[in-house]
A and B are shown apart, each in its own frame.
Chain A
Amino acid sequence: MKAFLTVIGTDKVGIIAAVSTLLADNGVNIEDISQTIMQGTFTMVMAVDLAGAKAEFGKLKAALEKCASDLGVEISLRHADIFNAMHKI
């Protein structure tokens, strides 16, 4: 299953490291990554492949939510189809 992960929040040291480590520990492959600071807000979009994920989708989301709370940012993980449906014809 392909998904998009987004991280939005105040920039600080170690956001990418923390998220990437969590994904690696859970067997999630990062296929693409795009990160910028938009109007002072850290914004990152990752395309990920969950085919080899060790945890089921709900548990992975829960782990990401805990990571988000530790970092003080918002993290979302959604199946890629919702973005493809909306933006591709």
Chain B
Amino acid sequence: MKMLNRSEILETIKMISDHHLDIRTVTMGISLTDCITDSPERTATKVYDKICSGAGRLVPVADEIAAMYGIPIVNKRVSVTPVSIVGASSGGYLEIARAMDRAADSIGIDFIGGYTALVQKGASASENAFMDTVPEALATTGKVCSSLNVASTRAGINMDAVRRAGRLIKEAAYLTRDRDGIGAAKFVAFANAVEDNPFMAGAFHGAGEADMVVNVGVSGPGVVKTALESIPDGDLSDVGETIKRTAFKITRVGQLVAKKAAEMLGASFGIVDLSLAPTPAVGDSVAAILEEIGLEQVGAHGTTAALMMLNDAVKKGGIMASQHVGGLSGAFIPVSEDAGMIAGASSGALSVEKLEAMTAVCSVGLDMIAVPGDTPEEVISAVIADEAAIGVANNKTTAVRLIPVYGKGVGDVARFGGLLGFAPIMKLNALSPLRMISRGGRIAAPVHANKN
């Protein structure tokens, strides 16, 4: 065996032990289309059985791979076919949600996604009935995550769905008000949702996917920051190049783990998601990378440019490192899950408006932002509409995960625990968008959607 350079070996070890390099998630996508029946009970039983048989070995396999390569695999997750489709015949959406939650507990995974409807252009009667169940599903299950796709570049923005999403976020937060509205933290409204996303809350198993697929999300903001510390005086070309080289190395590990996991689980290898996903741990922050590039604090003018460069360089480095790249693939900027973002929001350096601008150049959207509990539902809908407009016009995925925290206002802190972290309640513009949101209807697809 050719001996690798000693410094290369030690670099890998330092990345893992000192700079938080990890596999953020191994997510197994499972098709539930063969579980559809006209009986809620039978459908729920088939859903439970399919998840347990398909992903029953996911946790032990991930643990074995983690031990073999000596790299932590932080989350083990499952995504399923949108439940609005699986339950349409029986109407037993909540039964399916409970079966998903029980299955998730049985096989020991962290989250299960796919309590989802794709309503970017319109909703059927069964999809409307499904959407009515989302707040209760979120409040009465522990691990089930939900999403709505309310817009796409090809379809435009379904403003009826946007209005509905604002309402159900408020309801989910209210039903879980004793836990700072955690129900809303498990829900995301998308524009241009992707079918192979391994990250929560928005993961679902698309209709175009194989029966069982392994998708892997890598991480490593700390590794990128550390690499940049070695070139404090480099120009921005050097900065971009360093990020690319680092992203390549990170992604190669993701590719290795994804292929191995798919092989061991008897599933298809789907994609590696090139996302820089932060955690609240010190040294695992996307904001800290932007500050290392040269900003006093995240939120300063220049933040959007730095983030655009970071996001683009991560993709350029990662694309060559993986056979199949997909999912969301970009830097995440969740507020509550990133120590630097929390600090920026707390000090006032970072506003929701600045975050919105940042989402135009990175993955994925306004994420894990706590807002006052008395925020009207139409304001939340209007935030979703603005974010969807950015996604639709720029042909990219955008998303909104806002958490209205009942009983708390600007200056208070919401605590969600674990990887979801904590967040200062941020201020939203109080001017009313009610008349626009009440109009309903659709915002037409932009002219550049017509590519055929």
Contacts and interface: CB of A to CB of B under 8 A. Distances in A.
B125 interface: no
Interface in B59-93: 67-71
B436 interface: no
B3 A82 contact: no
B4 A82 contact: no
A39 interface: no
Interface residues of A, number: 28
A85 B9 contact: no
B23 to A, nearest CB: 11
A84 B69 CA distance: 11
Given A43-B10, A82-B12, A87 B68 contact: no
Contacts, number: 70
Name B's interface SS. helix
B249 interface: yes
B256 interface: yes
Interface string B1-14: 10111101111110
B401 interface: no
A81 to B, nearest CB: 6
A79 B68 contact: yes
Given A57-B67, A78-B69, A86 B6 contact: no
Interface string B344-383: 0000000000000000000000000000000000000000
Given A36-B6, A45-B9, A87-B8, A82 B71 contact: yes
Contacts of B8: 83, 86-87
Interface string A22-57: 000000000110101000000101010100000001
Contacts of A14: none
A4 B69 contact: no
A81 B194 CA distance: 30
B253 interface: yes
Nearest to B9: A45
A30 B19 CA distance: 29
Given A85-B252, A85-B256, A86-B253, A45 B69 contact: no
Nearest to A87: B8
Contact of A82 (B1, B5, B10, B253): B253
Interface of B: 1, 3-6, 8-13, 17, 67-71, 249, 252-253, 255-256
